């Protein structure tokens, strides 16, 4: 069967972009199927760094098609900026990129609404969104009555629909804005002209991607699905309400792309060797101390999209075991292992204590997660620099032990280890197939809190 997916198992930024770029070599089509310009995926190759947001990370290779499906919320200015950046740096995009006419379009009113409502969640801590209008655009998609899809921009009724939505949005935004804040300016004529221009610019790329992908998988062509964000940010299964507005765990692949799960035979769960989170919400293993600072500095943990410092902490096996199961993960890629070098000892969270009880199952309610006190297992660190290591045998024993322990705790084999941002800084391991190597881990888990 032809489908492979790459799914982040934490809170995003697990280095999915690096992995997708590597795996593209063995695929004909790379697909982004959820999220939007909130994603920031980095690829480093031959000393050059590429930051991609909406365009699949496969675009750097020739002879590959890149598809953005209807599950994505598409900001046309953002994708045009990426196309220009890539072509300006010598990467051909024309003829390689297909955008779904079903993709919902992000308009300036979505960005304005994101800025107003990002403040707090039912009176609590701010979500800390990326401010890219993601939640409001998905809200309109689900609400239907004020939604505009990419295909609508080419219809004769576009002007009329645009005016209708604009009028309603002006009223809604006026009612929602803070009394002491400035009025929200929406210059209808300018926005209409701008979006008509974007539509013209993108015309050759736009079409029905669902049939394209179904034709491809039915013909046995290898397709790579690039998840955005991480499974703990999944709207249904993540740390709600501190999540994004799409299904960013493995469950989103079929709904976002239109390709049924039966066509996917390889799910790679991507984890950092530690935890990071950007924005609000609980991060049980967070280290607001020199260890956290070590991780932030060595891992250059600053947001790709917003440049915000990322919150850093120890690897959380309770959370990642949950998302590995949720996403149907067959095998694991452990990224940024080099960042842990130089720490005397390392910790992995293997359970939580919540209200005095030991809990091994990731809690479903945010209040329980907030109360979770990590129970750690301690492993030896290693002083060596790993960035030059290319084979597993050259890893210090403590580093190998650490990676294997992650695999054991998640019940999946670790098949890929990353020791630096560059394509070349990657170790591929020969391990037994996932089904032989991993009995399902859930039997040992306790009842939910
Ligand atoms: P994504 O959103 O999952 O694609 O991840 P990001 O690109 O937002 O963040 C991952 C960051 O880690 C990027 O700056 C990568 O260049 C960098 N990176 C990827 N793999 C490694 C690695 O093994 N070691 C180090 N030190 N950095 C890495
Ligand atoms: P990639 O694909 C890390 C986080 C935001 C915020 C929450 C909601 O690069 O891994 P949103 O703008 O989506 O409404 O913000 O989700 N977030 C990400 N964090 N990596 C991402 O993408 C993210 N996309 C959104 O910081 O906490
Ligand atoms: Mg990122």
pTM assigned to the model: 0.95
Reduced to 3 states (helix: H, G, I; strand: E, B; else coil), residue 396 is: coil
Query: Which of 42, 273, 276, 385 is the pocket-test mutation for ligand 1 (most atoms within 8 Å of CB)?
Result: 42
**Which atom, in ligand 2's list, is nearest to the CA of 13?**
10
pLDDT for res 125: 86
In the chain, what percentage of residues exceed pLDDT 70?
95
- Contacts with 46 (C-beta within 8 Å, 6 or more apart), sequence order: 422, 423
State which ligand 1 atom lies nearest to the alpha carbon of 305: 8
Question: Is-contact 349 314, C-beta < 8 A?
Answer: yes
The distance in angstroms from the start CA to the end CA of the chain is 39
181: pLDDT strictly greater than 60: yes
**CA-to-CA dists, residue 278 to 17, 59, 127, 298, angstroms:** 17, 26, 10, 17
- Annotated active-site positions, please? 13, 41
pLDDT band with cut points at 50, 70 and 90 for residue 438: very low
Cα 100 to ligand 2 centroid, rounded to whole Å? 22
* Nearest CA, atom 14, ligand 1: 42
Please give the C-alpha separations between residue 37 and each of 120, 129, 134, 137, 244, in angstroms, as whole numbers: 21, 12, 8, 12, 12
Q: What is the mean pLDDT of residues 355-369?
A: 97
Q: How far is the CA of 12 from the centre of ligand 3 (A)?
A: 6
Q: Which ligand does the CA of 229 lie closest to?
A: 2
Dist CA 36 CA 194 (whole Å) = 19
Q: Could you tell me which of 243, 246, 235, 211 has the C-alpha nearest to residue 72?
A: 246
φ/ψ of 74, rounded to 5, equals: -110, 120
Tell me how crowded residue 224 is: count the other CB atoms within 10 A of its CB.
27
Say yes or no: CB of residue 421 within 6 Å of ligand 1. yes
The helix, strand and coil proportions of the chain, stated in percent and rounded to the nearest 5, come to: 35, 20, 40
- Expressed in angstroms and rounded, the spacing between residue 389 Cα and the centre of ligand 3 is 24
Q: Is the CB of 13 under 6 A from ligand 2?
A: yes
Lowest mean pLDDT among 37-41, 120-124, 151-155, 420-424: 120-124
Q: Is residue 248 lining ligand 2, measured as CB closer than 6 Å?
A: no
Ligand 2 contact, 40 CB (< 6 A): yes
For the cut 70, the answer to whether the pLDDT of residue 442 exceeds it is no
What's the rounded Cα separation, in Å, for the pair 90 and 404? 40
Q: Which of 11, 12, 18 to mutate to test the pocket of ligand 1 (most atoms within 8 A of CB)?
A: 18
CB-CB contact of 429 with 389 (8 Å): no
Pairing relationship of beta strands 223-226 and 104-105 according to DSSP bridges = unpaired
Q: What are phi and psi of 97, to 5 degrees?
A: -110, 130
Please write the tens of the pLDDT for every residue from 41-52. 999 998 899 999
Q: How far is the CA of 34 from the centre of ligand 3 (A)?
A: 14
pLDDT band at 431 (very low <50, low <70, confident <90, very high): low
Backbone angles phi and psi of 63, in degrees to 5:
55, 35
What beta strand segments (E) does 190-326 contain? Answer: 206-207, 223-226, 264-272, 275-277, 311-313, 315-316
pLDDT, one tens digit per residue, over 53-106 is 999 999 999 999 999 999 999 999 999 999 999 999 999 999 999 999 999 999
Q: Is 135 in the pocket of ligand 2 (CB under 6 A)?
A: yes
CB count, 10 Å around CB of 48? Answer: 11
Q: Is the pLDDT of residue 147 over 90?
A: yes
Atom of ligand 1 nearest to the CA of 8: 3
CA 132 to centroid of ligand 3, rounded, Å: 14
Counting from 1 in the atom list of ligand 2, the atom nearest the Cα of 8 is: 10
Q: What pLDDT score was predicted for residue 254? A: 98
User: Whole-number mean pLDDT of the chain?
Assistant: 94
- How many Å lie between the centroid of ligand 3 and the Cα of residue 46? 20
The predicted model gives 352-368 an average pLDDT of: 97
């Amino acid at each position: 069967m032809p489908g492979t997916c790459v799914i982040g198992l934490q809170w995003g930024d697990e280095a999915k972009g690096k992995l997708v770029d590597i795996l593209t070599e063995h695929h004909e089509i790379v697909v982004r199927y959820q999220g939007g310009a909130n994603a920031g995926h980095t690829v480093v190759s031959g000393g050059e760094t590429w930051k991609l947001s909406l365009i699949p990370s496969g675009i750097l290779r020739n002879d590959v098609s890149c598809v953005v499906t209807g599950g994505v919320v598409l900001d046309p200015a953002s994708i045009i900026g990426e196309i220009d950046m890539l072509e300006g740096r010598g990467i051909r995009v024309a003829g390689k990129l297909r955008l779904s006419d079903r993709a919902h379009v992000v308009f300036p009113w979505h960005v304005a609404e994101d800025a107003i409502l990002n403040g707090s969640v039912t009176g609590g801590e701010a979500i800390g969104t990326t401010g890219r209008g993601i939640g409001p655009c998905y809200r309109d998609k689900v609400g239907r009555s004020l939604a505009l899809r990419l295909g609508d921009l080419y219809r004769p009724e576009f002007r009329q629909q645009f005016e209708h939505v604009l009028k309603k949005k002006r009223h809604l935004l006026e009612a929602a804005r803070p009394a002491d804040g400035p009025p929200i300016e929406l210059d209808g004529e300018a926005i209409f002209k701008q979006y008509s221009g974007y539509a013209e610019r993108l015309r050759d790329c736009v079409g029905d991607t669902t049939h394209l992908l179904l034709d491809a998988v039915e013909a046995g062509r290898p397709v790579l699905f690039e998840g955005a964000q991480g499974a703990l940010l999944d709207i249904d299964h993540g740390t709600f309400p501190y999540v994004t507005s799409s299904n960013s765990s493995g469950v989103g692949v079929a709904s976002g792309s239109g390709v049924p799960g039966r066509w996917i035979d390889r799910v790679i769960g991507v984890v950092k060797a530690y935890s990071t989170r950007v924005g609000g919400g609980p991060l049980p293993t967070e280290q607001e101390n020199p260890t956290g600072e070590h991780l932030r500095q060595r891992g250059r943990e600053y947001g790709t999209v917003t440049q915000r410092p990322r919150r850093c902490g120890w690897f959380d096996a309770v959370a990642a075991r949950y998302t590995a199961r949720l996403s149907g993960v067959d095998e694991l890629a452990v990224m940024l292992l080099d960042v842990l070098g130089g720490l005397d000892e390392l910790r992995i969270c293997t359970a939580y204590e919540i209200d005095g009880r030991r809990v091994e199952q990731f809690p479903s309610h945010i209040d329980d997660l907030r109360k979770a006190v990590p129970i750690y297992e301690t492993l030896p660190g290693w002083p060596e620099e790993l960035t030059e290591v290319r084979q597993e045998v050259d890893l210090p024993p403590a580093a190998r032990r650490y990676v294997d322990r992650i695999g054991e705790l998640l019940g999946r084999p670790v098949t890929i280890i990353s020791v630096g941002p560059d394509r070349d800084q990657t170790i591929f391991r020969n391990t037994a197939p996932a089904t032989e190597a991993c009995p399902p881990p859930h039997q040992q888990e306790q009842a939910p809190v």
